[in-house]
Amino acid sequence: MIAPALTHALASWLDYCRALNGAAENTIKAYQADVMGFLAFMTVHHGAQQGLGPLSDITLTDMRSWMAAERGRGVGARSLARQLSAVKTFYRWLSEREGFEPTAVLSTRSPKFTKKLPRPLAEDAATAMIETVELQATDAWVAARDSAVVTLLYGCGLRISEALGLTGADVPLPPVLRITGKGGKERIVPVIDAARAAVQAYLQLCPHPMSPDAPLFRGIRGGALNPRVVQKVMEKSRLQLGLPASATPHAMRHSFATHLLTAGGDLRAIQELLGHASLSTTQAYTAVDTAHLMEVYVRAHPRH
């Protein structure tokens, strides 16, 4: 059992993450689950209630035991690295507040894992995807809606949550959109003519009234469009086009970034357009571009 004082400390830390770090609610839930899982393990591991006192005495051996137990129950290296990061962040905050030495926890090495490169679509495949999603629906307004959503993902580099978060107040789409992304971070995104035209075509056919506070993209009954609907229509389209399982809504955002980079786009400008907090996140697209370059080289070089 976790002591009330520690439960209160965890709740205070999560409030701190919400208020000062601007963490999204899904991130808060992940933090809570990761740290609670860690504390639950330590309770069983030590056979005693975990309060603030015992927590300050955790050793490197305890940390290794926890990580070994997590791997033993099938947690992958990437997920374990995320869990450890949450635990370390909580410990750093708690140690500053309570005045204990957190070195054993903070010095624990994260498991190594290979970072997955973004998997964008080729330019012709991205265009084909937009055209094919429009063919999946029998209702013309639904077809126009699906095409408009996917065009926004690819044309503006939006996350699916950002596209579906647009409201009637955003139409007609202006030349630039002010998007609030992860962690409440705002960015300015240029809107290409094709995206404005696609949204306008959808609005002309949409049977549901559009007020400023209503969601722009609607489900069949008029409520906010569920992202799973977009995922399903893209899944159906990718099977028809013979594209890999990685051809998801998020792949359209990856494609936006990669194709801009290939065309000579500046990495920092692309970082701003995507709303990445760190340039290192955006730099993954450099690796994608290099990988494509090497692929072309191997395929075309006469020595190969």
**Contact 181/271 with Cβ under 8 angstroms?**
no
* Helix/strand/coil for 139: coil
Could you report the per-residue pLDDT of 246-266, keeping only the tens digit for each? 888 888 887 877 766 665 555
Per-residue confidence (pLDDT) for residue 266, from 0 to 100: 55
Catalytic residue among 145, 187, 218, 253: 253
Q: How confident is the model at residue 207 (pLDDT cuts 50, 70, 90)?
A: very high
pLDDT, tens only, 151-168? 988 888 888 888 999 999
Q: Exactly one of 31, 91, 145, 159 is catalytic; which is it?
A: 159
User: For the chain, how many helices (H) and strands (E)?
Assistant: 15, 2
The residue whose two tokens read 């489900």 is 219
Q: Is 253 a catalytic residue?
A: yes
Catalytic position from the list 45, 82, 182, 292:
182
Query: Residue 8: what pLDDT?
Result: 84
pLDDT band of residue 274 (cuts 50, 70, 90) is low
Distance CA 279, CA 272 (A): 9
Given the candidates 1.10.443.10, 1.10.8.350, 1.10.620.20, 1.25.50.20, the CATH classification of the domain at 123-299 is: 1.10.443.10
pTM of the predicted protein model: 0.57
Active site residue 221: no
User: How confident is the model over 58-73, as a mean pLDDT?
Assistant: 90
The dihedrals phi and psi of 84, each to the nearest 5 degrees, come to -60, -40
Mean pLDDT of all residues belonging to the chain: 80
Catalytic: 159? yes
Catalytic residue status for 250: yes
Question: Strand pairing of 186-190 and 176-180?
Answer: antiparallel
Based on the residue annotation, tell me whether 46 is a catalytic residue of this protein: no
- Yes or no: say if 115 and 146 are a contact pair by the CB < 8 Å rule: no
Q: Where are the domains of the chain?
A: 4-106, 123-299
Please tell me the CATH code under which domain 4-106 is placed: 1.10.150
> Which residue in the list 71, 88, 208, 250 is annotated as catalytic?
250
- Would residue 301 show up in a list of annotated catalytic residues for this protein? no
